[in-house]
Structure 1
Amino acid sequence: MTAYLDYAATTPVSPRVEAVVSHYMREEFGNAGSRTHTWGNTAKKAVAEARSYIARSVGVGPDQLIFTSGATESNNIALLGLAAHGRSTGRMHIVTSATEHKAVLEPLEHLAKNGFDVDFLKPQTDGSHSVDQVMAAVRENTLLVSLMHVNNETGVVQPVEKLAKQLSSTAIYFHVDAAQSFGKVRHNELAAPIDMVSFSGHKIGGPKGIGGLIIRRRGWKPVPLQPLMFGGGQERKLRPGTLPVPLVMGLCEALRERLEDGEVWTRETLRFRELLSALVRDLNGSVNGAAANAAPHILNVSFPGVDSEALVLTLQDAVGISTGSACTSASYAPSHVLEAMSVEREKIDGSIRFSWWGAPSVDLDQLHERIAALQH
């Protein structure tokens, strides 16, 4: 049986989450915007409780969370929604990392084509950025810093908590794409004074098509975002449309489950990481990224003399793995993350990403044998 090792791309829902989603699809199926009958009021109350629980997990009130279709939409609202404020104030400079997900890079590239000055910072060779590097890049006219919490290809963790504390005393807004950390890795760090946090439900065992954007106030001042879509007053007028109540409730249940079993999840995930890392070392493989400062559930590696596509095909009946981000894996283009880290082209061409939860049942001896065969 093939073992699924691509949890950074998406995750299965648990029986608990499945039951909650099904209940709100079949039993309590009301529209949370309908106020003239029991079905609508029941849905409204459920969404309010879910919103409160999710927001409270990062130390904000329920009015500082809007639901979206996922981190990609949240990123677009956060980045493009600030453009009008940037133009009106003359703050047209943005700082980000060259290793961000395409859901951040492409909106920022759009802004760069429309008058904004965007600095795509090159990371250190281990994929990390220091607070000093980021702060040295900001200017008097800097509008925004956007930095991913956990990299989706390498698992490298960025110092968002420390950076938030530095930026909170300035007029610069701070956005964090937390798709790979929310509910799993250093979730408590997201309670730092980060202005905007994007996340997706399907990365934590929730259903696809639901996520959120934390929009933290500074004192009484909200982040001056403008909507990208129009058509209703839902979600603080930033994201119109009927709320998918079953998905909202599934997201809440998934987060509850992740936070409840966090210690066990981390312990088991790290145990498998040690076993997998031993296999990599035994085959003279190399880890791409800061192994000492990485999320426990992602390992990006290269094996000498092995092409990644050949490796994926060789292992496809044993494990499901990827060559990088799910959004770009179909293109067979070199990883922009590894290129920005100055990884040698041979290693980039041979890189693969393992990502998992807990301690999956994998025949590591079989993996060792097949990878070794490709090296000869």
Structure 2
Amino acid sequence: MALRRVIAVVAYLDVAATTRVEPRVAEVVLHWMTEDFGNAGSRTHEYGARAKKAVQQARSFIAGTVGAKTEEVIFTSGATESNNIALLGLAPHGEKSGRKHIITSAIEHKAVIEPLTHLRDERGFDVDFLEPGPSGRVSAQAVLERLRPDTLAVSLMHVNNETGVIQPVAELAEKLRATPTYLHVDAAQGYGKVPADLTAPIDLISISGHKIGAPKGVGALVTRRRGWNKVPLEPIMFGGGQERKLRPGTLAVPLIMGLYEAAKTFRENHDRWEREARALRQQILNALGTTRFRINGDPEHSVPHILNVSFDQLNAEALIVRLKDHVAIATGSACTSASYTPSHVLQAMGLDDDVAANGLRLSWFPSQAQDFDPAQIAQTIASMQPRQT
């Protein structure tokens, strides 16, 4: 029986939270769920052999997208798990070597902030949370100036999930490669969108599938060697030895193959996606010209498909309610949207509480924003803003 559609058809501008699984990807996932359904760890029959071969093909492709080697990719449930394995997995090396200083930014996703807060509060690590200033972009020089002999790692996101601002991870990778400090990059929002950045010699890269049209629940962690030396990670879970003993458990072959297909599809269509996403951004900005608004974050260093704006004397939650039958948008990260507190990202940028509390995030893939009329949202905003006297 076909599933009944229960959500009204509205324009979807919340791809920074999640994307629709594309039909081509869904077909691949279904195939590996119902036909080639073997366990990739089963070695005594063809079902397992086919699954294992498919996983290695996916692993090789994901590695190639970031200029890594096949064996440097481990599959996870998503960027949150990858972040935890990277940061908590490095901690024992820091404790043994006496290098317990970590540099990060105050605009990271909670999946980075919370593991690092745990290391600070429970295990005695010294964590620097750098603030980016109004641009929303952390200075590479500011990071390098904080380096110490005991700095174990720098953890800096690739693309901010609320503002879309691209962080200087490629520049940092080149600078840190000559030091004993490891660079971890949460690339949940940037993977596939700014591909050249991630081919830089970054030690650890966290990837999420559901930001590029793959199913939820799958991602990867790239653990790039420095010459012959592996990143000294220790497991944070145990039981089975899969994925180089860093991520035990039966491999989710259907989800891994969905990630593979989504990554291939996104790569094949990247140039068109970027061109169309940028064109829609300009349409939105042109329409908003009839309102009083400000862009939060440096538009010169941003991905084309995420825009964070605040409107003069206008409550973002009220606007979302007014537009809910027409467009799906958000105030910020889906992981913190239930708290109704000012955005920690916008606050860290030094914006006042009113602006931080009323930032509106629009994020889109052109193929998932069908029937969206930027003029409609602009008219609604204009009607809600008090008249200037």
Q: TM-score, normalised by structure 2?
A: 0.95
Which deviations, in whole Å up to 9, do the C-alpha atoms of 1:6-48 show, x marking residues without a partner?
0000000111101100000010000000000010001001101
CA–CA distance in structure 2, aligned partners of residues 149 and 236 of structure 1 = 25
Q: Counterpart of 1:158?
A: 167
Alignment of 1:55-204 (within 5 A): 55-113=63-121, 114-183=123-192, 185-204=193-212
Structure 1 residue 140 displacement after superposition: 0.8
Q: Counterpart of 1:339?
A: 347
CA–CA distance in structure 2, aligned partners of residues 175 and 365 of structure 1 = 41
Q: Which amino acid aligns with 1:70?
A: G
Q: Are 1:96 and 1:146, in contact at CA under 8 Å, matched by a contact in 2?
A: yes
CA–CA distance in structure 2, aligned partners of residues 320 and 341 of structure 1 = 25
Q: Which amino acid aligns with 1:164?
A: A
Q: Counterpart of 2:257?
A: 249
CA–CA distance in structure 2, aligned partners of residues 371 and 311 of structure 1 = 7
Structure 1 residue 59 displacement after superposition: 1.0
Could you list the structure 1 runs, at least 4 aligned residues long, displaced by more than 3 angstroms after superposition.
none
Q: Counterpart of 2:51?
A: 43
CA–CA distance in structure 1, aligned partners of residues 348 and 206 of structure 2 = 23
- With 363-372 and 40-49 compared, the bigger mean Cα shift is at 363-372
Q: Counterpart of 1:225?
A: 233
Gap regions ≥5 residues in structure 2? 1-8
- With 93-102 and 277-286 compared, the bigger mean Cα shift is at 277-286
Asked if 1:22 is matched to 2:27, the reply is no
Q: Are 1:280 and 1:286, in contact at CA under 8 Å, matched by a contact in 2?
A: no
% of aligned pairs identical?
Answer: 57
Q: Are 1:304 and 1:350, in contact at CA under 8 Å, matched by a contact in 2?
A: no
Gap regions ≥5 residues in structure 1? none
Q: Counterpart of 1:315?
A: 323
Q: Counterpart of 2:3?
A: none
Q: Which amino acid aligns with 1:13?
A: V
CA–CA distance in structure 2, aligned partners of residues 317 and 53 of structure 1 = 40
Specify which of 209, 213, 232 is matched with residue 221 of structure 2.
Answer: 213
Structure 1 residue 279 displacement after superposition: 2.3
Structure 1 residue 284 displacement after superposition: 1.6
Structure 1 residue 75 displacement after superposition: 0.1
Aligned length: 375
CA–CA distance in structure 2, aligned partners of residues 215 and 177 of structure 1 = 13
Q: Name the SS for the 1:189 alignment partner.
A: helix
Structure 1 residue 107 displacement after superposition: 0.2
Specify which of 265, 283, 286 is matched with residue 294 of structure 2.
Answer: 286
Structure 1 residue 188 displacement after superposition: 1.8
Q: Name the SS for the 1:50 alignment partner.
A: helix
Specify which of 365, 369, 375 is matched with residue 375 of structure 2.
Answer: 365
Q: Which amino acid aligns with 1:365?
A: A
Q: Are 1:266 and 1:358, in contact at CA under 8 Å, matched by a contact in 2?
A: no
Structure 1 residue 346 displacement after superposition: 1.7
Q: Name the SS for the 2:81 alignment partner.
A: helix
Q: Counterpart of 2:5?
A: none
CA–CA distance in structure 2, aligned partners of residues 32 and 349 of structure 1 = 47
CA–CA distance in structure 2, aligned partners of residues 350 and 172 of structure 1 = 37
CA–CA distance in structure 2, aligned partners of residues 124 and 305 of structure 1 = 23
Alignment of 1:234-245 (within 5 A): 234-245=242-253
- With 339-348 and 227-236 compared, the bigger mean Cα shift is at 339-348
Q: Are 1:308 and 1:351, in contact at CA under 8 Å, matched by a contact in 2?
A: yes
CA–CA distance in structure 1, aligned partners of residues 377 and 132 of structure 2 = 32
Q: Are 1:234 and 1:242, in contact at CA under 8 Å, matched by a contact in 2?
A: yes
CA–CA distance in structure 1, aligned partners of residues 376 and 72 of structure 2 = 49
